[in-house]
Chains A and B, each alone.
Chain A
Amino acid sequence: MIEQIIFWLLSTVLILSALGTVGMTDAVNSVMCLLAAMLALAGLYALLGAHVVALFQIIIYIGAVMVLFLFVIMLLDLKKTMKLLSLRSFSGGFGVIFVCLVGIIAWLFRHAAVSVTETCGLPAVFLTRNIHDIALALFSRHLLVFELASVLLLVATIGAIVMTRK
């Protein structure tokens, strides 16, 4: 029951944030909205029982990619970014929402360490002991893809460095 409420709540936040991403005029505002969308998405992942993915979403997407976006926007030295500070009046409300979201997600992680047979009122079909099984699969069956992805990351890193050199 409660999972359903959480689902609808998270979905609403997600869609509203997505709309905000594509709708905001200021680039930094868009980035922030996307950040919120990713947070909600992480919650949905946790809801679905994919705790590892949720964690990775937060760490990689929010923590690295979005931060990279913000850094680059800052690097571009646009005059418009100064307008960001005018939203200060709403920051309290946003802060509250943010904390609530984090709390919800944290609560969703209660079943992470153990294998459960049922979550969110759904039939317990194909549920995995998440981290354990993913690790096993990643490093045995999908090893080649994993290695290739790491090479790709290396190439992209070198490329980005070369391209942005003056």
Chain B
Amino acid sequence: MSHYQVYLIIFLPIMGALINGLMGYSFSKRSITAIALGSVGIPLLLSLGIAYDMLFLSAERKVMTDTLYRWLSEQTYHIDIGVLLDPLALVMVLVVLVIGFVIHCYSVRYMKGDPGFRRFFVYLNLFVFFMLILVAADNLVLLFVGWEGVGLCSYLLIGFWYDKKAAADAGRKAFIVNRIGDCGFILGIMLTILTFHTVNFSELKTILMNDHAVSTTTLSLISFLLFMGAMGKSAQFPLHVWLPDAMEGPTPVSALIHAATMVNAGVYFMCRIFPVLEQAVHVLPFIAAIGLVTAIYAALSALGQRDIKKVLAYSTISQIGFMFMAIGSGIYAASVFHLVTHGFFKGLLFLGAGAVMHALEGELDIHRMGGLAARLPMVTATFFLGILALAGIFPLSGFFSKDAILWGAFERYGVFYWGMGLSAALITVLYCGKLFGVAFLGDTRFNGRIRKPDSLMTIPLVVLACFALLLGGLGLPMFSEHTIFAQFVEPSFFMPGAETGVPSAHSRVLEMIMTACVLVGIIVTFGIALRYFTRYKDTMMDRAVTHTTVSHLLLTGFGMDKLYHVMWVRPFQRIAHLCDTLIDRLLIDGGVNGTAKLAAEIGYFFASLQAGYVRYYAVSIVFGIFVFVGVTFVVMP
């Protein structure tokens, strides 16, 4: 596992982006596709090679660090450009590259007729590059560089069809809300530099492992500020409002960025700074609370959505809420495991939704779909697998990861918290059932030609479905902390001298019983939901009409957008208007125009001296003589 492999992995995507971007005007579609796929595919192979190596190395050697060069240096601290590749980073790299490659293949067909074909792949490659920088960074600042980069690519890709006003607005909204989180992030970085005089993750871990004089208040403050950044990027309440709007972008973008990779950056980031979080005792419960609130809120909102992609968007918000619940409970490995499984099945669901939209000529509303099971069998089958995984049904991967989270939450915060988490999981099942039942089962409500997707679109679906099925195996053996996955990422979370893994205070039997209850509850709810939404669709639509308040509330995500509009957008618009009329028009324009007018007035005054009358000139001559004589003979001597 040499350094060059890592650098190649990171820099091949940007090479692809640059080649396609700067020189790709005249390339054929084949060449563009080849360059784009190659710049993701080759890193994928290289990282698979690294993974294979890493499996057989001893624990100390599993972590690879390298510094490229010194970026900034002050007297007290310095910032380097460097790589930290440990099992956690490698997991993320694999997630990004595998899902990324699959989605690249899918997009070749999805974006076939689009005039912005080349631009799309340039942006996608750029995104992969920045995401890899984020994941492989060895210090806070370099991670932030990747953070901002993926934010930029997200903006570019959400607003990909920029002449559509809704898309451009959505891109802007994403960037701005992200920025609010980044505010906290930057303040956190500054505070870290002030407190620890370093931003390097390894050095931070070393400092925090030994005795240090940093107060818990400072640590809590740092953690809170950095968590603010994670909230913005990972779309947690209350900075989640950008993610549903981000569905204006093309579906592969939604799949890659807003389900599998970018929104998980916040979770990954929290895992990276886990030493700080561990010692900031006030912040972990706060993170867990936010995660829980988000999970429940988003699940309820997903229930009320009509747009297929918006259901999936709110579902993503909710699942990331689960991941933050895990972080708040201190079980980082479980959170990362859920991240991985969620990436695959959510990506699968999004690609499936894209296939459905592609087949139905862009129809989004699930109430207008129906009975697609017969017409699109492959899509329906893979979508069903994804739904099962999302709902958390054994033996798909979602079950293992969700179960681990719930158990960890129970251990740390008790049964009430576990109950709320369970209710979030059940509401998840409800909207899963609704989505599948309304869109794919029942009577056909769609009038129009259905285009079957071809193999280039279905093969990625199949690949992702396999992963969704099989990844659950990494969660074995169950009911212990030492699952295969946790053992693999163990070195990343190893902090000698600190209490990371609390030995299970409750018995294994209790855990098994609770897991069984959860599973039964999920299956029962799923069955009920499917039946209800499949068979009684018409009454459901009537109900939606009669229960307008509730459904409207759910549809708009409890009115968050309206609230933000009144709280923030309108005052800013008023201020901008005030600036325009008062400062811009009155002061600045008045000043500039006034200067011009002054110059003109002086000109007019002097021009008026030319009256055209000879007598005026004569008078001025005589006056001048007097002045001249007076000066020469009176003033001078």
A touches B (Cβ under 8 A)? no
Q: Which residues of B pack against A, CB within 8 Å?
A: none
